[in-house]
Structure 1
Amino acid sequence: MNDHFSPAGAVPVPVLRLGDVLLVTLQGDLYDGAAEQLQQDIVEAIAGSRVTGVVIDISGVEIVDSFLGRVLAEIAANARLLAAQTVVAGMRPAVALTLVELGLTLPGLRTALSTEAALELLGLDGASVPRGPRREPR
């Protein structure tokens, strides 16, 4: 039996827009159906609203496997094709260790210790939209 099938009554993952950035918070396991729906929701939201970044907060994820790693990499690849950057925020040390042990490099993903730091990487200061031209980090 595949552990990634969505149990009855599983709640879809919300995709919130914060200025030019989509904010997605993962809590617990991400099942096949929910992962496919999340990927579709993110692609449609990027294309429909012309956002430039996606922040995926995984601070609520305690265990990662190759399935979740692949989902994150696919989301980043889809976003990159639509001219948006992806930042994964809140990765626990055990999750980072597991990703390395699994050999998952997650191309196209940037990381940040917190959601706030991820928003700053994408040009947002807290919940405000930048008013002027973006400054490049030194």
Structure 2
Amino acid sequence: MTERVPILRIGEQLLVSIQIDLSDESAVALQEDLAEKISATGADGVVIDISAVEIVDSFIGRMFATIASISRLFDADTVVVGMRPAVAITLVELGLSLGGVRTALDIERGMEILREQRARRRGLTDDGEAASGGSAAALR
């Protein structure tokens, strides 16, 4: 039986915390489960915590990029957090790029990045005003 990676909903985002050694089968199951969860919840962002991942091979590296592509198809941004230096080095040595994937040191910063991206997408600044330079009242 393939171990499943839990996918948790936190507000408008999903948190995927990989705490197992990913086999090819569990990586494919994660892709399928995540696509279903994004579709079912309408989440606008995904944080993937890989702090427990010690080793990646080319398949697992490509899986991270594929997950980001799948998320984009569902209009959700992806942030990978907790990448160990050895994992980053391996990805570079394998020639794998995580195009379109933001990275952050920890889950808190990853969630913050997704909130900022959501606000930009909705055209709002940090204080809730329209990004065009003022409130609706000021534009009248």
TM-score by length of 1: 0.81
**Separation in 2 of the partners of 1:26 and 1:97?**
19
Provide the identity percentage.
55
Tell me by how many angstroms 1:36 deviates.
1.4
Equivalent residue of 2:87, what SS? helix
1:82 is aligned, of 74, 84, 88, to 74
Contact 2:2 2:25 in 1 (8 A): no
- Do residues 97 (structure 1) and 96 (structure 2) align? no
Question: Between Structure 1 and Structure 2, which shows a larger proportion of helix residues?
Answer: 2
Q: Tell me which residue corresponds to 1:6.
A: none
**Separation in 1 of the partners of 2:125 and 2:29?**
34
Tell me by how many angstroms 1:31 deviates.
1.2
RMSD: 2.0
Structure 1 stretches of at least 4 aligned residues deviating more than 3 Å after TM superposition: 133-136
Residue segments in structure 1 that go unaligned for 5+ positions in a row = 1-8, 125-129
Computing the radius of gyration from Cα coordinates, the structure with the larger value is 2
Contact 2:24 2:60 in 1 (8 A): no
Tell me by how many angstroms 1:10 deviates.
4.4
Q: Tell me which residue corresponds to 1:121.
A: 113
- Do residues 135 (structure 1) and 125 (structure 2) align? yes
Greater displacement, 25-34 / 48-57? 25-34
Residue segments in structure 2 that go unaligned for 5+ positions in a row = 127-140
Aligned pairs, number: 122
**Separation in 2 of the partners of 1:53 and 1:60?**
21
TM-score by length of 2: 0.80
Question: Between Structure 1 and Structure 2, which shows a larger proportion of strand residues?
Answer: 1
